[in-house]
Amino acid sequence: MRQKGDEKRMRRGMRAVSRRGASFSALVVLALVAVGWGTTGQSAAQAQQKLVFVSPGGSYARAAYAAYLQPFQEATRTMIEQVEGGDDPVAAIKTQVKSGNVLWDVVGCGPADVVGNPGIWEPIDYSIVKSTRDLVYKEAAGQYNIVNDVETFPALAYSTKAFPHDGPTSWTDFFDVTKFPGPRGLSNVGLDSAWSIPAIALLADGVSPDKLVPFDLDRAYKKLDTIKPQVRVFWTSFTQSQDVLRSGEVVMNVMTDGRALQLVNTGNPVAVSFKQAFRFTASWCAPKGAPHAKNVMRLFEYILSHPQKQAIFTSLTFYGPPTRAGVAEAEKLGIKEFSSKHADELIPDSGTLLNYIKEHSDELLKRWNAWVS
């Protein structure tokens, strides 16, 4: 919902996820200086050994750098240039692709980003990306995306200080302002919010997960109206989603599981429920016409073929690894909780749901933007 995804993700992203901060830029610059790589005076061959990474910023970007980008950079002598793209870079990518002036190579993309915009992504080259047999979910290797981590978005997170006993565990509880009073937080991160927030409203109103599609948007927004006075924050970055819960500005929040678990594991009075959370396969994609697309594919293969690196990423973000070997390595590190271990509880980002989002993306966005504003 990451790479929205922990900040997009999925999603996106992530699907997905952890995203904003100048420290990542500093790390990249220091790494380039340390190995003597510059951006001027390069030979043609050196220029080809490059990859422009659209950083979501924050802890997610720092984790991606530590677990994947720096090791890949050192192993392949590929110069990685980082640029800021925010949590919802799809609009910029559309502009680049339409103009034929594509500047970026790899970007976080959530499931809705992929299916809703098939014309802006470079197809995955499976002659290079070969390590796909051990994936936790088959959707982890798509036509245009490779899953970086398995998240849940939206998941329900809440303050155990506000609710020390018998806290909210379901979307019904999230919408019950009498039993669970206090300010709420909702995401506002483009299409991922435009489908997921109406979806949780329908679940709270008694619709079963297998009957969600097609969405009854009138019913969904009627239910959303019941809590709108309690929505104090429509957060627009995944870092902000943590800040508002940590500070007590909200007592309940729609979040990615990894962002919530980061708070839990750093001693904050926070709990997270996986009940009826949506699986969010936070991916990385290459914009169509990416100038260094082959290097992107090599990065994707590096991620899938190095389960220990996946475990490092999970240890830093608490998002689940994309492969079974990565899950085993994460458990060896003593990580007790992440979404890959809750597969049976999660609502899958199935083809039925994703196709609905693709076919109705404009309608979903129009209705969502009108309600938020």
User: pLDDT value at position 113?
Assistant: 85
Cβ count within 10 A of residue 94 = 14
Under the banding of pLDDT at 50, 70 and 90, the label for residue 365 is: very high
Instruction: Give Cα separations from 232 to 169, 193, 259, 326 (angstroms).
Output: 20, 16, 19, 38
Instruction: Quick: pLDDT tens for 202-234.
Output: 999 999 999 999 999 999 999 999 999 999 999
Instruction: Quick: pLDDT tens for 114-164.
Output: 888 889 999 999 999 999 999 988 778 999 999 999 889 999 999 999 999
DSSP string, 159-174: ETTT--SS---SHHHH
Which tokens in the block code for residue 102?
Answer: 């594509």
Percent pLDDT > 90 in the chain is 67
Cβ count within 10 A of residue 134 = 15
User: pLDDT value at position 87?
Assistant: 60
The whole-angstrom separation of Cα 250 and Cα 267 is 18
Instruction: Quick: pLDDT tens for 272-287.
Output: 999 999 988 789 999 9
Q: What is the mean pLDDT of the chain?
A: 86
Q: What is the mean pLDDT of residues 181-207?
A: 96
Q: What is the mean pLDDT of residues 328-349?
A: 86
Strands (E), the chain: 50-55, 79-84, 107-109, 145-152, 155-159, 184-187, 231-235, 252-255, 270-273, 279-285
Cβ atoms of 173 and 179 closer than 8 Å: yes
| Domain limits, the chain | 22-152+280-343, 155-278
Instruction: Quick: pLDDT tens for 247-270.
Output: 999 999 999 998 999 999 999 999
How is the chain split among helix, strand and coil, in percent rounded to 5?
45, 15, 40
User: pLDDT value at position 86?
Assistant: 65
The whole-angstrom separation of Cα 339 and Cα 248 is 25
Residue 67, SS3 per DSSP: helix
Closest to 108 (Cα-Cα) out of 93, 96, 98: 93
Q: Is 267 exposed, middle or buried (0-12, 13-18, 19+ CB in 10 A)?
A: exposed
Confidence check: pLDDT of 78 > 70: yes
Cβ atoms of 155 and 199 closer than 8 Å: no
Fold for 22-152+280-343, please state it: D-Maltodextrin-Binding Protein; domain 2 (3.40.190)
Q: What is the DSSP letter of 205?
A: T
Confidence check: pLDDT of 310 > 70: yes
User: pLDDT value at position 58?
Assistant: 79
Confidence check: pLDDT of 367 > 50: yes
Instruction: Quick: pLDDT tens for 6-54.
Output: 433 333 333 333 332 333 333 333 333 333 333 334 444 555 689 999 9
pTM: 0.75
Fold match, 22-152+280-343 / 155-278: yes
Instruction: Quick: pLDDT tens for 85-109.
Output: 766 689 899 999 999 999 999 999 8
- In terms of CATH architecture, what is 155-278? 3-Layer(aba) Sandwich (3.40)
